[in-house]
Amino acid sequence: MEEFSLRTIFAVFEEIFGFALFWGLVALAVIFTAAWIYVLIRDRSLSMRKYLVAQLSMPFGAVAAVAFVLWITNSRLSDIGGPIDWLVLLGVAVLGAVGLSIAVYVIQSLGRRSPPQT
């Protein structure tokens, strides 16, 4: 690979996950990000109670993301070789944790609205 570009990254992820799953996950991420921005604009502040619950969900998101990637790629943790493999797995865990945190916050906020602050 002589050239490192965004197109190359997309091609690699499409190869790993398949076209439909990869772009479905991208669409889901865009939808939840837009919903999170909408909730922040609508409420004009973060609800600390919802934020705490969202943060408590982060370890579950990290484990789920790593398990999902290992399942999709037909790999096991014993297949992890060098430092770059561990860094990629750590990145997957961080993205899964943050993604589930945002999803939990959005679902809580759209499910019930916080009382107005005085």
- Predicted pLDDT of residue 34: 94
Model confidence pLDDT, tens digit, residues 64-84: 999 999 998 888 888 888 888
The model carries a pTM of 0.80
- Predicted pLDDT of residue 107: 93
Model confidence pLDDT, tens digit, residues 7-46: 888 888 888 888 999 999 999 999 999 999 999 899 888 8
Own/partner pairs, 34-42, CB within 8 angstroms, 24+ separation: 35/106, 35/110, 36/102, 36/105, 36/106, 39/105, 39/106, 39/109, 39/110
Cα distance between residue 41 and residue 35, in whole Å: 10
Model confidence pLDDT, tens digit, residues 88-113: 899 999 999 999 999 999 999 988 76
Q: Return the structure tokens found at 69.
A: 């990637």
pLDDT at 116 over 60: no
Collapsing DSSP states into helix, strand and coil, what is residue 81? coil
- Predicted pLDDT of residue 43: 87
pLDDT at 62 over 80: yes
Could you give the C-alpha distances from 109 to 18, 38, 68, 81, in angstroms and in order?
A: 32, 10, 26, 41
The neighbour count for residue 114, using CB atoms within 10 Å, is 16
pLDDT at 1 over 70: no
